[in-house]
Structures are given as C-alpha cells and as structure tokens.
Amino acid sequence: MREIRCEGCGAVMAPRPDGRVFGCEYCGAQLQAAVDAEQISAGLRLDLANAEAFLVDLSRALHGHLGERTKLHAEGERIVAFELHLEPDVFLVKREIHGIVAQHRKVVRGIALKTATHPLDQWVLLLSKALAVHANENARVAQVLATLRGA
C-alpha cells in the first residue's frame, strides 16, 4: 500500500477501516483517497495456478458482498460459472472441459457489443480496473473491496 502524508503536518496518515479514508494521528486531518486497480489486484491475491480454488474464492468474495450484481451458477456444491455486472462491463468466468474460461463483455442497453476471452491473469487486471472505477463512485463497493484487502 502506498504511503500517504498529511498535508497539514507531514506525518504518515493511517487508513481507516473502510480503506478509503486516511487520518492523521497527530493533527486529526482526514483525507479520502481513491481506490486504484493495483490495490484491488493485491487484495484479490487469488491462486491463478489453481483454477478450482480461483473460481471458488472469487465467487465467495464477490457474490457474498455484491449479490445483486452477480450470478452464480452451481451444480450441487460445484461452482460452474460466476458472472459480475459492473455496467457497462460484464465479467464471466466459467468452467469448461479444457479448464477455466474468462470473458469480458461490453453491454449497452442490454445488448452485448463486444465479448472477448482473456487469459485469467489479464482478466483479473480488467476486473480490478472496473472494480476500482465502481469503488470510487460507490461507497458500498469500496467497503467490500476493503474487506478483500483485509483492512
């Protein structure tokens, strides 16, 4: 995490539990910082080498907190697909015979304009960037991301 210094006294500011507000222990000043994709990527330290664990961990982390924006498809206890809607982006990760497939779709007025399949690591970066944009516009998403970062 980057170091943020107080504009009033120059001391290092400590993050508050939500991860977006920093407070100065010396002069009491507060600063709201934007959430960036690197912070989210660090918080989503999912095991990309283990596709099964990745799918389970991602769906647990996001579906549990952003349920109204997600679709979870399961066969019994086995997760088959997970979808996250962050307009205009839709992120889909699904299990297929040859492994995990990760897709990103641009949707406008319910119509998919473009769908692309990405390597899992690139897909996670795209997801992180979209989550950062939404976190900076939506305090609830920011609180969810703070829990992913362990704040």
Question: What is the tens place of the pLDDT at every residue in 65-113?
Answer: 777 889 999 888 888 999 999 888 999 999 888 888 999 999 887 777 8
pLDDT tier at 141, thresholds 50, 70, 90: low
Tell me the one-letter amino acid at 33: A
pLDDT tier at 116, thresholds 50, 70, 90: very high
Q: Which two tokens stand for residue 109?
A: 């007025």
**pLDDT tens digits for range 3-49:** 788 888 988 888 776 666 788 888 988 887 665 556 555 555 555 55
Closest CA to 60 of 35, 39, 79, 36: 79
How many structural domains compose the chain? 2
The answer on 93 and 68 residing in a single domain is yes
Provide the 3-class DSSP secondary structure of residue 66: coil
The answer on 28 and 49 residing in a single domain is no
CA 24 to chain centroid = 27
Does residue 53 fall inside a structural domain? Answer: yes
